């Protein structure tokens, strides 16, 4: 069992930056691959970024490539999402998720067993 708690969301102007954090507790955090997803009202949950356990390969959704960076600090049981050059279309609830065996399906929410409660990010134009 893993518990995840996101923080760092808020209101920011277009072009600004935010850093989201996701603190994990419970079973060995480093054992899990971690992902960030987001969901805007009326839309499906969208893959944002993932970082794989044991090596830390990273993957990004097309809409955030070059602007967002995912990282992890296993000593602190925390995964981060640094967001820069934010756009109004980045407005959504952002969720972190943990998966023990996501394989190559890092973009699929179904591969992640544990989810945080989400944090709201609002980008004003």
**What value does the mean pLDDT take over residues 53-66?**
92
Q: Render pLDDT for 16-59 as a digit per residue (tens, 0 to 9).
A: 999 999 999 977 888 999 999 999 999 999 999 999 997 779 99
* Confidence band of 11 (pLDDT split at 50, 70, 90): very high
Q: Render pLDDT for 67-105 as a digit per residue (tens, 0 to 9).
A: 999 999 999 999 999 999 999 999 999 999 999 988 899
Task: Quote the pLDDT of residue 58.
Answer: 97
Task: Quote the pLDDT of residue 61.
Answer: 98
Task: Quote the pLDDT of residue 28.
Answer: 86
Instruction: Report how far Cα 42 is from the mean position of its chain's Cα atoms.
Output: 20
Task: Quote the pLDDT of residue 26.
Answer: 76
Task: Quote the pLDDT of residue 44.
Answer: 96
| Closest of 85, 94, 89, 93 to residue 67, by C-alpha | 85
């Amino acid at each position: 069992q893993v518990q995840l708690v996101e923080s760092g969301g808020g209101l920011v102007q277009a072009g600004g930056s935010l850093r989201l954090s996701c603190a994990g507790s419970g079973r060995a955090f480093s054992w899990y691959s971690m992902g960030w997803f987001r969901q805007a009202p009326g839309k499906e949950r969208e893959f944002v970024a993932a970082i794989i356990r044991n090596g830390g390969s990273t993957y990004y959704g097309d809409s955030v490539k070059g602007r967002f960076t995912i990282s992890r600090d296993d000593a602190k049981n925390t995964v981060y999402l640094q967001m820069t050059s934010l756009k109004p279309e980045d407005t959504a609830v952002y969720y972190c998720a943990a998966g023990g065996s996501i394989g190559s399906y890092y973009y699929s929410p179904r591969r992640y067993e544990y989810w945080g409660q989400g944090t709201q990010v609002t980008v004003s134009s």
